[in-house]
């Protein structure tokens, strides 16, 4: 029987509960640690390439980087960007409606961004939806469509579907007493004026991006409106 030392330690030849791990256990721990380190390295590398200025690696592997980053790890800022945004972009919508008499009419432009702005103003705790939903949906669309408003691949198609559904969620199927048949969107971009102390000359006149009319279908409506 092993003798117990002055401090209750076990004698030579016995291994306590806190003893060294066996070789198989050490291998399992080492492999697990290596996997965690590799996963962290991949994540940090992908995140860095996503927010860094375009380079050879990010251009060559842009599709793989986007597939990894979006939508869970998306960042709405760019590393080393020297200038903040200096323009306001408003998203507006109008509808072609079927009147109760059976005719058609076109509504005026409805400023969806202004509605979000009014809900945020003087609100100490504005919702994420009011702050970002419409703005990010428009950015998603604008970056995934060309000058002819044609989608750039699957992401472009999804961005269009998402934007249309979001707009119909805001508009609803009834406008000005009629039923919405078609909808048209546009963006209004205004550059921010230079501060009084600056000699910089900035054109603050609005610029427009007008999208084609689209016919409202069941896919554009929220789930509750389809039934």
Residue extents of the structural domains in the chain:
23-69, 87-226
User: Peptide bond preceding 71: is omega within 30 degrees of 0, i.e. cis?
Assistant: yes
Q: 195 is written with which tokens? A: 């501060």
Give the pLDDT band (50/70/90) at residue 19: low
- With contact defined as beta carbons under 8 Å apart, do 173 and 221 qualify? yes
Q: What is the pLDDT of residue 64?
A: 87
Q: Concatenate the DSSP letters of all residues of 132-167 into one string.
A: IIHHHHHHHHHHTB-TT--B-HHHHHHHHHHHHHHH
> What three-state secondary structure class fits 83?
coil
With 90 as the cut, is the pLDDT of residue 33 above it?
yes
Q: 148 is written with which tokens? A: 């002819």
pTM of structure: 0.62
What is the spatial distance between Cα 114 and Cα 119, in angstroms, rounded to a whole number?
9
With 50 as the cut, is the pLDDT of residue 85 above it?
yes
- Backbone torsion region of residue 94, taken as left when φ is above 0, otherwise alpha when ψ lies between -120 and 50, otherwise beta: beta
Average pLDDT, the chain: 85
**Residue 134 burial (CB < 10 Å; 0-12/13-18/19+)?**
buried
Stretch 88-106: mean pLDDT, rounded?
A: 95
- Dump pLDDT digits (tens) for 210-223: 999 999 998 888 76
What is the spatial distance between Cα 137 and Cα 142, in angstroms, rounded to a whole number?
9
The span from the first CA to the last CA of the chain, in angstroms, equals: 80
Stretch 52-74: mean pLDDT, rounded?
A: 83
Stretch 104-114: mean pLDDT, rounded?
A: 95
With 70 as the cut, is the pLDDT of residue 121 above it?
yes
> Which of 84-93, 118-127, 179-188 has the lowest average pLDDT?
84-93
With 60 as the cut, is the pLDDT of residue 78 above it?
no
């Amino acid at each position: 029987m092993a003798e117990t030392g002055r401090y209750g330690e076990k004698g030579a030849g016995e291994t306590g509960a806190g003893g060294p791990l066996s070789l198989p256990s050490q291998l399992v721990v080492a492999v697990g640690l290596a996997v965690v380190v590799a996963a962290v390295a991949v994540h940090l590398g992908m995140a860095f390439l996503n927010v860094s200025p375009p380079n050879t690696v990010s251009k060559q592997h842009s599709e793989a980087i986007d597939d990894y980053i979006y939508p869970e790890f998306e960042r709405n800022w760019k590393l080393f960007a020297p200038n903040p945004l200096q323009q306001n972009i408003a998203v507006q919508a109008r509808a072609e409606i079927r009147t109760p008499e059976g005719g058609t009419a076109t509504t005026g432009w409805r400023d969806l961004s202004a509605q979000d702005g009014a809900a945020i103003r003087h609100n100490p705790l504005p919702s994420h939806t009011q702050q970002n939903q419409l703005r990010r949906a428009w950015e998603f669309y604008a970056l995934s469509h060309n000058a002819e408003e044609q989608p750039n691949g699957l992401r472009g198609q999804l961005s269009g579907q998402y934007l249309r559904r979001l707009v119909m969620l805001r508009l609803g199927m009834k406008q000005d007493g009629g039923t919405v048949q078609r909808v048209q969107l546009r963006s209004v971009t205004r550059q921010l004026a230079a501060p009084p102390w600056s000699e910089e000359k900035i054109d603050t006149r609005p610029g427009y991006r007008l999208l084609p009319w689209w016919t409202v279908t069941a896919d554009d409506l929220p789930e509750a409106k389809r039934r």
